[in-house]
């Protein structure tokens, strides 16, 4: 049994900071991770030390390799259909490298998750306010409510 794993590190300067883009391909799955190194350019020794120390803590969002699915989609016999589908895939893929696309997919997933958490927190806060209003109304009805003081049963 042969296991295929590919790891790539690209270091680039974005105008302000040095950034490393780690790409990890493992048996048809692909993931990317972005790390900010800082204002000073990292040396080779610092990069190796970073990889040794922090490789296991890098957050790769592993997904199916988009190029593998593209080959499966283009398996039709008609060459004109293959050409149309290839053009659609290129248009749908968008701008950027495979690493940039993987990171944007991961960013969108985190954004959806944070929206869901924020919605749950808002609903919990609304329920707490409603319970407090209900308790205040009940105490007013019993004649035990005074402004600023909440008497619990």
What DSSP element (H or E) covers 78? none
Q: In this structure, how many other beta carbons lie within 10 angstroms of the beta carbon of residue 110? A: 12
The pLDDT value given to residue 66 = 52
**Residue 81 tokens, joined:** 């259909």
- Could you read off the pLDDT of 19-73 as tens digits, one per residue? 998 888 888 788 888 888 988 899 999 999 998 998 888 888 766 655 555 455 4
Note the pLDDT tens digit of each residue in 114-149.
999 999 999 999 999 999 999 888 888 887 766 766
Backbone angles phi, psi at 94, to 5 degrees: 85, -175
**How much is the pLDDT for 130?**
96
Model pTM above 0.75:
no
Please give the pLDDT value at position 126: 96
CA atoms lying within 13 Å on the CB side of residue 129 = 6
pLDDT for 53 equals 92
Which pLDDT band holds residue 150 (cuts at 50, 70, 90)? Answer: low
Q: Of 59-63, 87-91, 93-97, where does mean pLDDT reach its minimum?
A: 93-97
The confidence score (pLDDT) of residue 132 equals 92
Sheet with 18-26, side-by-side order of all strands: 5-13, 18-26, 29-38, 63-64
Residue 149 pLDDT: 65
Q: pLDDT-derived band of residue 74, with 50, 70 and 90 as boundaries?
A: very low
Q: How far is CA 112 from the centre of its chain?
A: 9
């Amino acid at each position: 049994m042969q296991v295929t794993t590919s790891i790539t590190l690209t270091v680039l300067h974005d105008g302000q900071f040095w950034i490393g883009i780690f790409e990890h391909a493992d048996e048809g799955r692909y993931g990317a991770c972005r790390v900010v190194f800082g204002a000073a350019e990292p040396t080779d020794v610092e990069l190796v030390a970073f990889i040794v120390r922090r490789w296991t803590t890098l957050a790769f969002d592993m997904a199916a390799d988009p190029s593998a699915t593209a080959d499966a989609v283009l398996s039709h016999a008609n060459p004109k259909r293959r050409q149309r589908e290839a053009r659609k895939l290129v248009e749908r893929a968008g701008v950027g490298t495979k690493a940039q696309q993987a990171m944007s997919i991961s960013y969108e997933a985190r954004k959806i998750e944070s929206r869901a958490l924020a919605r749950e927190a808002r609903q919990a806060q609304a329920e707490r306010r409603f319970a407090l209003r209900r308790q205040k109304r009940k105490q007013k009805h019993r004649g035990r409510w005074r402004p600023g003081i909440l008497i619990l049963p």
